Amino acid sequence: MVDTFSAGDRALSVLIVDDERDAADSLAELISLYGYSTRVAYNGFVAVELASEVRPDVVFTDLAMPWMDGFSLGLWIREQVPHAVLVAVTGLTGPEIEVECHEAGFNYLLAKPLDMNAMANVLRQASERRTCSCAWASVG
């Protein structure tokens, strides 16, 4: 059985941002199986438009994207949609990446390939603490 986590009386809304279309679409499909409302953007600029419109509860974003990277997107999301839980999903590694993610306002850092248990834990925690004070955790 698949658990559905909600934000009050509605399913959490999740925005997935990745310039790798297959990765973004696959993650959106997987998350929607948990009962979440998902939207996909294939670059940071489209993500800004969607985030302005839907005010997502959770944002999963790649960091290394052309035009607007995930760090810049994270800063914008943190400023404009402060309740959103920000999750960096990246193949980039190292302490400097963790510092940059923290400084950009990310709540979580998940390594690629994405561990499904870590993703489910992030979604569960996001639903439990509907309002987020920008706590930092590296998962996976």
The domains of the chain are located at: 6-139
Query: 94-103: per-residue pLDDT in tens?
Result: 999 999 999 9
Beta bridge partners of 37: 13
CATH of domain 6-139: 3.40.50.2300
> What does pLDDT average to over the chain?
88
Q: Among candidates 62, 110, 45, 101, which has minimal Cα distance to 78?
A: 101
Nearest 5°: CA angle at 1, between 13 and 27?
Answer: 40
**How much is the average pLDDT of 122-130?**
84
Residue 10 has pLDDT above 60, yes or no: no
Proportion of the chain in helix, strand, coil states, percent, rounded to 5:
40, 20, 35
High-pLDDT (> 70) share of the chain, %:
84
Question: For the residues 106-128, what does the mean pLDDT come to?
Answer: 93
Whether the per-residue pLDDT at 129 is higher than 50: the answer is: yes
The DSSP code for 26 is H
pLDDT tens, residue by residue, 16-71: 999 999 999 999 999 999 889 999 999 999 999 999 999 999 999 999 999 999 99
